[in-house]
Amino acid sequence: MRESLIGMARNPAARDIIILAQMKSLALVPLCLYVLAFAQPSISDEDVWKNFTAWLERQAPNSKPNDLIISYRESLLKQGIAEGETGRRMGVVSNFIFTRRKGVELLWDKVYGGNNPIFIQSPSAVVMNAIEGRKSGKALDVGMGQGRNAVYLAVRGWDVTGFDPSGEGIRIARSNADKAGVKIRALVDRDDEFQYGEAQWDLIVITYVRDLTTVDAQRFWKALRPGGLVVYENGADESNSVLRAFLGYEIIRFEDVQTNPEWNPDHWIRVQRLIAQKTIK
């Protein structure tokens, strides 16, 4: 074997083959280094989430949640993460961002900390319509954000409690109430943890938070005083599930309209509005 190698080395053609082979193996070194440096093993969903929240914490406030999400995608691509893996990670992020406590708090704190709001700051027309001609009482604003509806109700003599998971939203809501010269109870809390109580409220407002379900309809029924109202507005659910969830109530108003929503009013989308009353027959 040794002989044959020496023999090959003496033969110019064979020597060229050996040199070529050596060059090829040298060429593999940078390729291997490249693969080691840039290959992105698929990390677990929990690690995707941890990386994203750490990144989000470092970002400046931004009123547009979409801008934040898009710039995270760009940052992954800049790190050399392949399109497919970036897509997978963004899927994990969008699944968790509106459901996990930390995602909700961080995202909405960033949004409310920004100074270019993409939402209407005056009260919801459906809330104004719902209380027209009604005696004021105890109102609850679920996911109150900056308190546009809570402050409006307090100014009209309602005794208002509101809550939101965003500490920044609550800080601004309290400051808006101070500016309007009214008192509201504004709490950092979540809809799945807040104690709604029994027969407590004359009005429950929930605007642009999420679609309501039969579980919400039952929970609100228990929490409302007889004659109390639920006032709801959000982008339309496709299957009328919100309306169906409230059919045990008296439906005072329901509409499903194509319009500019109060959140992201530059868009033209279907919006549903509901005023439902706990009427005991």
Piece in contact with ligand SAM (CB under 6 A), picked from 62-70, 84-92, 159-167, 170-178: 159-167
| Cβ nearer to ligand SAM, comparing 76 with 164 | 164
- Indicate whether 176 belongs to the interface with ligand SAM (CB under 6 A): no
| Min dist. Cβ of residue 205 to ligand SAM (A) | 8
| Cβ nearer to ligand SAM, comparing 52 with 208 | 208
Give the other-Cβ count within 10 Å of 124's Cβ.
20
Beta strands 138-142; 201-207: pairing state:
parallel
Task: Out of 176, 177, 263, 272, name the contact with ligand SAM by CB under 6 A.
Answer: 263
| Min dist. Cβ of residue 217 to ligand SAM (A) | 16
Task: Out of 114, 164, 201, 272, name the contact with ligand SAM by CB under 6 A.
Answer: 164
| Cβ nearer to ligand SAM, comparing 231 with 276 | 231
| Min dist. Cβ of residue 114 to ligand SAM (A) | 13
Tokens of 24: 């090829």
Tokens of 97: 């961002």
Tokens 């995270």 correspond to what residue? 72
Tokens of 67: 């801008």
Positions in 123-152 near ligand SAM (CB under 6 A): 142-145, 148
Is 156 exposed, middle or buried (CB count within 10 Å of its CB: 0-12, 13-18, 19+)? middle
The residue number with the shortest CB distance to ligand SAM is: 145
Tokens of 197: 């109580």
Positions in 27-86 near ligand SAM (CB under 6 A): none
Task: Out of 190, 219, 225, 253, name the contact with ligand SAM by CB under 6 A.
Answer: 190
Positions in 87-116 near ligand SAM (CB under 6 A): 104, 108
Helix H or strand E encompassing 102: helix 101-113
| Cβ nearer to ligand SAM, comparing 164 with 216 | 164
Residues with Cβ within 8 Å of 12's Cβ and at least 6 positions away in sequence, in order, are: none
| Cβ nearer to ligand SAM, comparing 72 with 108 | 108
Positions in 195-234 near ligand SAM (CB under 6 A): 207-209
Helix H or strand E encompassing 215: helix 214-223
Site size toward ligand SAM (CB under 6 A) is 18
Task: Out of 114, 169, 228, 261, name the contact with ligand SAM by CB under 6 A.
Answer: 169
d(CA 212, CA 168): 24
Strand partners, 201: 224
| Cβ nearer to ligand SAM, comparing 166 with 272 | 166
| Cβ nearer to ligand SAM, comparing 76 with 148 | 148
d(CA 173, CA 183): 11
Distance (Å) of CA 246 to CA 35, 50, 206, 207, 280: 57, 38, 14, 16, 14
Give the other-Cβ count within 10 Å of 35's Cβ.
10
Please report, as ranges, the residues that interact with ligand SAM according to CB under 6 A.
104, 108, 119, 142-145, 148, 164-166, 169, 190-191, 207-209, 263
